[in-house]
Amino acid sequence: MHQDLDVQEIAGALRTSIGLLRRRIRQTEAGGELTLPETSALAWLDRGGPSTAAALARLEQISPQSMGATLAALERRGLIQRRPDPDDGRRMILSVTGEGLRMLRSRRAARTERLTRALSSGFTQAELKRLAAAAPLIERLAQHL
């Protein structure tokens, strides 16, 4: 019979290891660096499509003022564009520009390449299979947070 697993111990181990992985991945340079909030806002707009500043602030759980500063910086760099909402002219709808998509793809490719090199040089086939099996579980865990 299996002993009950210590869920709190597993949670701590995952928090530590995923935190380290995130920090190392973020260290990957891709020209024209973006701040973490800028990257996050661009990613939300890429995945979710056009949105309002208020909706993005809610998704990121930050103040509308903080999101406004982030979006203004992205707009100055030509990475997002604002258009009036066709249903409510008082609101602005934000979307990623072609340059914004190019920058996101470049960052993602650089980070994926860094992970690929690490996996290719430091892991056995058995370990790679275990990591592949864990990936959907980690994604499901993230969706439950």
* Domain extents in the chain: 29-144
Q: pTM, whole model, 2 decimals?
A: 0.72
H/E run at residue 89: strand 88-96
| 5-19, 20-34, 108-122: segment of lowest average pLDDT | 20-34
Place 68 in a pLDDT band, splitting at 50, 70 and 90: very high
Dihedrals phi, psi of 56, to nearest 5 degrees: -65, -40
H/E run at residue 81: strand 80-85
Q: Which residue has the tokens 């602030």?
A: 57
What CATH number is given for 29-144 in this structure?
Answer: 1.10.10.10
